[in-house]
Structure 1
């Protein structure tokens, strides 16, 4: 990974995070946009667009920090646990999905349904599975479990600040750009590393 490739990865991921968060805010925070459109307030609207774009940039940076932290942890795990590392990653995936359902349900109001928490965990696993399958297809079979681990465990860790907030707005506002940025980095990395320099 050269510095030029890293800069390309950084800026494209940053733009992706900002754009997706802004687009998601049109749905999740539609009431906030409605307030500045009726009556129309141009400066309030610009401020709102800048706020959600900036929030997306922050989510993107969190995603990138998580990605490079994962690359370090994966190398550490391979060196320390060797052949046991894939099994440990599978255990952590299952444990994370269980926690994502159990602890959120325990913190919910009394009488809340368990189904939304189960569906959230299942949706995260489904998206992660698809990304991991693509990663395996484009690289090798050994990449499946690490890719699934990254998409499930690391994404959930990055998602914690939104999960701890009150209300569901920021839960959805954060997870969509996080998933997209994480998948983008994971699937772009081997393409950047395999890209050969153009002949003169």
Structure 2
């Protein structure tokens, strides 16, 4: 990829993060912002939207750091294990461990007395389901077998990027950051080949 295309890729991903957070921020945190919309108080709405977009830019940068870190780790994994099938098996094991940790440790740390495990399981299942869909699209887009690698990125790397709010468990931020990371990670995973193919 040329420097020019990398810059375009960086800023387009930045826009994805900003727009997604700017829009979803009002939806997810509607209880906080609804009165401004009912009153058509644009003196409050516009600054809040700009602030949310700025937060989205931050999430996007975290996503891009994770993406390029994964590209490095993936190349290292393929070289170290000397077999794509063995590397895929290792990635599947790590995916399973991360999903288990996402359920078990969050439940142990944040569950209230008598709270059901169901919501924690559903969150992990939702992340897995979305990851599978994106990985299937990626594998159809690519001539090589990229399903497991794409799934690893969408689940393991997303969870690692998500840690700053996972450790606080504030629900509005939990979902806002997750949806933004998923949007940015999906965009990067599916659009990188197109930017690589561009001339100049």
Superposition TM-score, scaled by structure 2 size: 0.92
Aligned length: 197
> Counterpart in 1 of 2:79?
79
Q: Which string of whole-angstrom CA distances, capped at 9 and with x for unpartnered residues, describes residues 95-135 of structure 1?
A: 00001110111112121111111111111111111111111
Q: Provide the aligned C-alpha RMSD in A.
A: 1.6
Structure 1 residue 86 displacement after superposition = 1.2
List alignment gaps of at least 5 residues for structure 1: none
Structure 1 residue 38 displacement after superposition = 6.1
Give runs of ≥4 in structure 1 deviating > 4 Å: 37-41
> Counterpart in 2 of 1:33?
33
Task: Output aligned runs, 1:186-197, within 5 Å.
Answer: 186-195=189-198, 197=199
- SS of match in other structure, 2:168: coil
> Counterpart in 1 of 2:103?
101
Are 1:154 and 2:183 counterparts? no
Structure 1 residue 35 displacement after superposition = 4.2
Q: 1:133 to 1:166 in 2, by over 3 A?
A: closer
In 2, Cα distance between equivalents of 1:183 and 1:39: 36
List alignment gaps of at least 5 residues for structure 2: none
Q: 1:38 to 1:135 in 2, by over 3 A?
A: closer
Superposition TM-score, scaled by structure 1 size: 0.92
In 1, Cα distance between equivalents of 2:192 and 2:122: 30
In 1, Cα distance between equivalents of 2:122 and 2:175: 13
Task: Output aligned runs, 1:30-179, within 5 Å.
Answer: 30-37=30-37, 41-83=41-83, 84-107=86-109, 108-179=111-182
Q: Which string of whole-angstrom CA distances, capped at 9 and with x for unpartnered residues, describes residues 16-70 of structure 1?
A: 1111111111211112212434655443322211111111111111100000000
